Structure formats: C-alpha cells, structure tokens
Amino acid sequence: MKFILDAEQRLFGETLHKLLAEAGTPAAIRAWAAGSHGPGLALWRSLADAGALAVAVPESAGGAGPLPVELVTAFHELGRHAAPGPLAESVAVAALLDGLAPEDLVVAPGTVEGWLAGIAEGNTVATVALPPAVPYALDADAAGLVLAVDGDELRAALPGAARVSLDPARRLFPVEGGELLARGPSVRAAAEAAHDMGALATAAQLVGVGRALLDASVEYARARRQFGRPIGEFQAVKHHLANALVGLEYARPLVHGAALAHGSPDFPRDVSAAKVAASEAAYAAAKIALQVHGAIGYTDEYDPSLWIRKARALHSAWGSSSAHRARVLAALA
C-alpha cells in the first residue's frame, strides 16, 4: 500500500514534532513517573491548542473530527517523543461518549457534550477501563474524568491503588463502578468503537516510539567506536538496524490503512492487524536499541531507556498481539 500525507497533514505532523521537541519531553516523563503531573499537563494543553486531541472529537461537540488520518499523524509524533499521560485513553473516551444513544443516557446530554468539548480543548484529561482488553484505567490519578464499562453500563469509575507498570510513567489503576452515566445497547457498541480507536492510537504511538529508538540507535552506532571504527560499520550491527527499519516500514502503512478504513466493516480487523505489526516492530526496535547501546541503554539517566520501557508497555496495551491476531483470523474465516 502506498500512502502519502497531503500538505496539511504533513504540516500538522511537523508542527507537533517541533512543539514536542522544544518541550523537552524527557523531563516531563520523569516528573510524571515521580507523580508530579504539572509539566505533563502543561504539555497536554499545548498539544490540545495545536489540535492533537480535537481530531478525535466530533465537530458537533467542539472538535474537528473524527479525523482518523490526522489522529494517526498526531499519535506518531506523540510516540516519537514519548509524551506522557492517558492520550490514547482520552481518544477512546471521545469515541465512547460520541457513540452513546441519547435514550440510553442517565446524565443530561449537555454533560456529555461538555466532556467532549473539554477533551478537545485540553481541559479534560480522560481515561477509561474497558475489560477484558483494557482492565485498568491509565493515570487515573491525573485524570478529571475516569470511566468504566461493564457490559451495557457506563459508570464514572472510582480508582483503587495504583499497580506497577513496565513503564514507570504509566500508572495503572483498578477501578470500581461509581455513578451510573448510561445503560443500554449503545453502551456496548460505543465501547467496541472506543477500543478500536484506542488501539489505533496506540499502534500509531508504537510506530513513533520505534522510529525514535531506531534513530537513536543509528546515531549512537555512528559515534561509538570499537577497534578504531564506528560500530555502525560492522555488518552485524547494520543488519540489526536494517531489520528494525523493515519492521517499522511494514507497520506504518498498516496503521494508515486502518485509519482510512474508519467507518467501514473492515475497520476492527484492520486496526488489529495494525496493532500487531506496530507492537512487534516497536518491540524489535527496543531490543535492537538495547543491543546497540549496551548496558547504558537501560540506565535511568539515559533518555533512550524511557522509550525502551514505553515500547514494552505499549506492546501489550489495548489488547495483546495474540488477541488481535485472533480477531484478524476470525474476520478472515
């Protein structure tokens, strides 16, 4: 598949890349992991001002979307810079709220519209638990809106004690259902749509994370010398880096292809195919980054370790590879 972003989409991605590069995300990531959300929330608002969250919210609620291609473009950059916070979760919440039928709402429709507008504007940080694929609500301690779906019921969730994540900047919270917000058949359908949008956003993040790790590894291989030569000149290192590039280049069009399939019956299948490819490609890039960098690659003080940990955590977030493979096979049967 050949996919080329148009001029506006490229400019959107370049704008977010510049914003995130100037923001110095490693400091915000470390602060977030330590429980200090201020720098990350400031970055969140800047991203919202640039339209990174509005593309997930319908125009009727003050957003600009849903625009799946622009969403993928944004989340590629968010992954490339390892931006902290429940970003994919907020996208999923937008899809969840947008999919609720008015007759199934227990709260006033204006309340839902207000939440959606808040997500688009960056004033509402949202997260959600969608068991069994998403059993925990990410970063519920930083979110102003915490939701949980149980069958055909949607509730404002009450978070419990945080669980340890493979990525210290990703805090996982078990939740219990609180105030009932909606009940009915549209809740279940909206939850399925939310899962697909969350998985698509995560797949795009993974490609961005993997690309950042590959770039860091190539740069290090050019600078690090052994036996009087840059290690990047050694054939084994070249092959590792080439394999990482091939995996990412195969995953990227699957992610964009899934975005283009939004609204079609093939969307869930294509999202699962994209999530599998992106998960495996980013995980491979993380392993190769460790091999190229050596022991320094996993030290807390070295920035690439932040990306390596995120690649591993996102690999299983929003559905395991085995679960997504099973869904692809079921769709093709």
- Report the pLDDT averaged over residues 207-233: 86
pLDDT for residue 2: 60
CA count, 13 A, side-chain hemisphere, 30? 9
- % of the chain at pLDDT higher than 90: 86
Prior bond to 253 cis, omega within 30?
Answer: no
Residue 10 CA, chain-centre distance (Å), reads 19
Selection from 14, 12, 43, 13 nearest residue 26 by Cα: 43
Calculate ∠ Cα 98-138-62, nearest 5°.
Answer: 30
Helix count and strand count (H, E) for the chain = 11, 8
| In contact, 170 and 293? CB cutoff 8 Å | no
Residue 1 has pLDDT above 70, yes or no: no
Whether the predicted pLDDT of 139 surpasses 70: yes
Query: pLDDT value at position 173?
Result: 97
Q: What phi and psi, each to the nearest 5 degrees, are found at residue 159?
A: -75, 145
Cα separation, 135 vs 275, in Å, equals: 18
For the stretch 53-102, pLDDT in tens is: 999 999 999 999 899 999 999 999 999 999 999 999 999 999 999 999 99
pLDDT at 286 over 60: yes
**pLDDT digits over 13-48, tens only?**
999 999 999 998 999 999 999 999 999 999 999 999
Q: Where are the beta strands (DSSP E) in the chain?
A: 126-129, 137-138, 145-150, 153-159, 172-173, 175-183, 225-226, 229-230
Does the pLDDT at position 305 exceed 60?
yes
More confident residue, 298 or 154: 154
The whole-angstrom separation of Cα 97 and Cα 116 is 7
Within 13 Å and on the Cβ side, how many CA atoms surround 130?
26
Retrieve residue 246's tokens: 């091939």
What pLDDT does residue 236 have? Answer: 80
Q: Using CA of residue 53, residue 7, residue 245, residue 300, what is the dihedral sign?
A: negative
Q: Is the pLDDT of residue 3 over 80?
A: no
In the chain, the N- to C-terminal Cα span, in Å, equals 23
Q: Rounded distance, CA 180 to CA 274, Å?
A: 34
Beta strand 126-129 with 145-150 is parallel
Least Cα distance to 63 among 242, 203, 197 occurs for 197
Lowest mean pLDDT among 22-31, 299-308, 317-326: 299-308
pLDDT of residue 273: 98
DSSP, residue by residue, 106-160: SS-HHHHHHHHHHHHHTS--EEEEBTTTB-SEETTTT-SEEEEEETTEEEEEEE-
Contact 118, 124 (CB under 8 A): yes
Distant-in-sequence, close-in-space partners of 15: CB < 8 Å, separation ≥ 6: 50
